[in-house]
Each structure stands twice: as C-alpha cells, then as structure tokens.
Amino acid sequence: GNLSFTTSYQTAIQSAELIIIAVGTPSAADETADLRYVFASAKSLAPYIQENAIVVIKSTVPPGTLEKGIEIIKEATSTKFYGASLPEFLREGSAVHDTLNPDRIVIGATENFVFEKLEELHQKLQAPVVRCKVASAQMAKYTANSYLATRITFINEIANLCEKNGADIDEVIKAIGHDKRIGQHYWYPGLGYGGSCFPKDVKELAAYSRSVGESGNLLNRVNEINSNRIFYLLEKFAKKINGFENKTVAVLGLSFKPNTDDMREAPATKIIPYLSEKGAQIKSYDPMAKYSMEIKNHQQFATIEEACNNADVIMAVVEWPEIIDFDFAKVKNSKTQFFIDCRNQFKSEIVKSWNYQYIGIGKR
Ligand code: UDX
C-alpha cells in the first residue's frame, strides 16, 4: 500500500517532499554522459514542486549537473526547494539485496536540513552515511566504478604477462591477496568488464578528464585496453587452436554476467560476429538471454548439450552456475576438442581428465 505508480508528473510531484530523479544517462556520441533525460525530467517536474521539496539526483552524472538541473527548475518556478546528490551503487542481478544492504549511503548536499531528511529516509537500513559536497558524491560514484574497472583491467594485464612466463594468474592472485591492502576478492581475470555501468562510466570519466584538460588521465587507457581485450584474446585463442575457420564453436553464456539477461557490452556480442566472420559455425546457449541479431552461421540452443553437440571448441564465456556445474564429459566427442575457460572457473586437471585441450586465462 506504500507504493503507487503514475505517468502524471502533477500527481507524483505535487505532494512530494522528496523527488528522486533516477533516469538513464547513456553515453553520448563523444562518450560524455548524455544528460538530456535528467534535464527533461527537471523541466517536467518544475511546475508542480511544493515548498521545501528536495530534488535528488540518483542518476550517475558528472559534477555540475545538479546545479544545471536546479537552474532549469528555477526557470519555471519561484517556489523554494533544495537539491541533493544521492548516487546508487547497485549491481545488476542483486539490486534489491544491494538496496536493502548498502555498504554506504552517500549524500551530497549543502544544507543541514537536506542531510537530515535524506538520512531519515535511509535510517532503517542502518548503513554508514557519508555526508559530503555535491561534487564529491558525484565523483564518488564514478570513482567507485572506475576503480573496480581498473582493478579488473590491471589483473587482466598481469594475466597477459603470466602467459608469457608460465606463472598462473590464479596462484598470483592468491599470493598477493593475503596482503590485507589488496585482498582476494573481485578480480578474477577474463574477457574484460562489460555491462551497462563500467564501460559507460569509465568512458564518461575519461571523456570528462579530456574536457577539463586532463587528457593523459589513466582512465583513457583503461577504456582503450578493455575495449580491445576481447579481440586481443580471440586472436590469441585462434593461434592456439589453429584458427576458427570451419570449426564448430559452442559459445556458452550470452549475457554480460550471470543472473541477468542483459547483453549490453556482453562479450558474446563481439565474440559471435568475430567467429562468424572467421568462418566458424556457432552454437550458443544461455539460461536467460536471447541473442536477437541475425548472424551468419549462428544458432542459439536451449540446452548446453545441444550447443556442444559436435563442437570442436567449447567457450565457457559466462560463469552461470548451469555452465560451471555442467559435466562436460557428457558432451565429449571423438574429435580433438578445445575447452576455452574464459573466466578461469574450471580446474584445468578436471577439464583435461575429460579429454579436452584446456585453454585458460593467464596460465599455460
Ligand atoms: C557494477 C558495480 O559492481 C556496481 O556497484 C555499480 O553500481 C554498477 O556497476 P554490475 O555492472 O551489475 O555492477 O556488475 P559487476 O558484477 O560489478 O561486474 C561488472 C563486470 O566486471 C562484468 O562484466 C564482470 O564479468 C566483470 N568482472 C567482475 C570481472 O571481469 N572480474 C571480476 O573480478 C569482477
């Protein structure tokens, strides 16, 4: 009974003490954040805003956006209102859990009244609250995502070096992870980061760095490395298996990560067209995502068994439990078959005991 929906700005806004703008901020052609939906909602809500309402931007936006939004509202009304930034840090596939169990609540504002009101809103969650400047809150969101993306890129770069010298990246991670400053978590190497957030936010912060005269900023390079990562690996895999031409390849996992059907910046969207162009037959599988583009020699199947039937190469692209728990001995045929473990989720000895030629990331 606490929740109702409407498509009317008037109904939603006229009695609201807090107004949360949570619209999308996709990347524009020049890779900066496209803020038109944020400003359009500011313009649409402005006529109905009540005295002392707080307009909160939850969308991921660069510093300066709240101020512009406030100006837009002021053009339409003389009612007194406040502004704040309240970035979200949710992951896809666990958004409800992350909402109810946040690591922190970040509130960017200038007035005490606003901090207090927004703290009250989150009181039940009992999470640490960081009160800060508006620009700091906006930077905190970009910084968190860019840091995690850089961490992934860093370990992928180290994995490349391990392949040159016989070290095993998983052992390296274990060894360095005992340093409490570093930790074991959140850096399995793989195909690079994907999804709707990391690629976009790194690109946007890199574009922002260029726009403020910091074009040598590290994030420009992180973005470049990650964008090339899949092609770099595909060329490497191609060498190891003597080319993809005329090979039947099972691509297991189409979403950008498990527990979502989201294919934005998913590795499969680059891998499948690449394999098709190289003359492979592609048979894909995903428990949830549907590959909607027509690609020559590609067909999606409903089961792992069907996708792997007659395959020369199996590529485990996404760490869905259905895929990592599957017994691939069941689909082994009499050919020499390669098993490419794109996320290092399998034990090489086990895959070899099933009679596949194992190819992992950052290990020989
Ligand atoms: C991310 C952030 O985690 C979240 O805090 C933010 O609000 C939105 O962006 P999400 O995009 O849902 O969330 O995915 P996440 O699980 O963090 O993974 C992002 C990408 O990094 C995926 O492509 C994943 O495969 C990749 N990844 C993650 C790695 O390659 N290695 C890792 O160790 C972790």
The confidence score (pLDDT) of residue 67 equals 97
Taking CA atoms only, the protein residue closest to ligand 1 atom 9 is 197
Residue closest to 268 by CA, chosen among 195, 159, 200: 195
Name the packing angle between helices 169-177 and 134-165 (round to 10°).
130
Is 152 close to ligand 1, i.e. is its CB under 6 Å away?
A: yes
The confidence score (pLDDT) of residue 132 equals 98
d(CA 66, CA 44): 15
Kindly state the tokens that stand for 172. Answer: 């390296």
Q: Residue 92 C-alpha to ligand 1 middle, in angstroms?
A: 8
In one-letter notation, the amino acid at residue 222 is V
The pTM for the full model equals 0.94
pLDDT at 88 over 90: yes
Across 159-170, average pLDDT: 96
Q: In what order do the strands lie in the sheet with 248-252?
A: 298-301, 281-285, 248-252, 313-316, 337-341, 356-359
Residue 263's pLDDT band, with cuts at 50, 70 and 90, is: very high
d(CA 330, CA 359): 19
Is 186 close to ligand 1, i.e. is its CB under 6 Å away?
A: yes
Distances (CA, A) of 287 to 51, 192, 292: 50, 21, 15
pLDDT at 85 over 90: yes
Other CB atoms within a 10 A radius of the CB of residue 68 amount to: 13
Q: What is the mean pLDDT of the chain?
A: 96
The confidence score (pLDDT) of residue 269 equals 97
pLDDT over 70, % of the chain: 100
Query: pLDDT digit string (tens) for 270-291?
Result: 999 999 999 999 999 999 999 9
Query: pLDDT digit string (tens) for 4-60?
Result: 999 999 999 999 999 999 999 998 999 899 999 999 999 999 999 999 999 999 999
- Indicate the SS3 state at residue 324: helix
Query: pLDDT digit string (tens) for 221-231?
Result: 999 999 999 99
d(CA 272, CA 280): 9
Helix (H) or strand (E) holding 150: helix 134-165
pLDDT over 90, % of the chain: 98
Residue 187's pLDDT band, with cuts at 50, 70 and 90, is: confident
Is 194 close to ligand 1, i.e. is its CB under 6 Å away?
A: yes
Q: Which atom of ligand 1 is nearest to the CA of 190?
A: 30
Pocket test for ligand 1, best of 86, 151, 152 (most atoms within 8 A of CB): 152
Q: Residue 198 C-alpha to ligand 1 middle, in angstroms?
A: 7
The confidence score (pLDDT) of residue 345 equals 95
Across 187-213, average pLDDT: 94
Is 199 close to ligand 1, i.e. is its CB under 6 Å away?
A: no
Residue closest to 250 by CA, chosen among 301, 315, 306, 325: 315
Beta strand 129-132 with 105-108: parallel, antiparallel or unpaired?
Answer: parallel
Across 219-241, average pLDDT: 97
Residue closest to 359 by CA, chosen among 211, 228, 210, 240: 240
Taking CA atoms only, the protein residue closest to ligand 1 atom 3 is 91
* Residue numbers annotated as active site: 197
Exposure string for 235-256, b = 16+ CB within 10 A, e = fewer: eebbeebeebeebbbbbbbbbb
pLDDT at 186 over 90: no
Is 285 close to ligand 1, i.e. is its CB under 6 Å away?
A: no
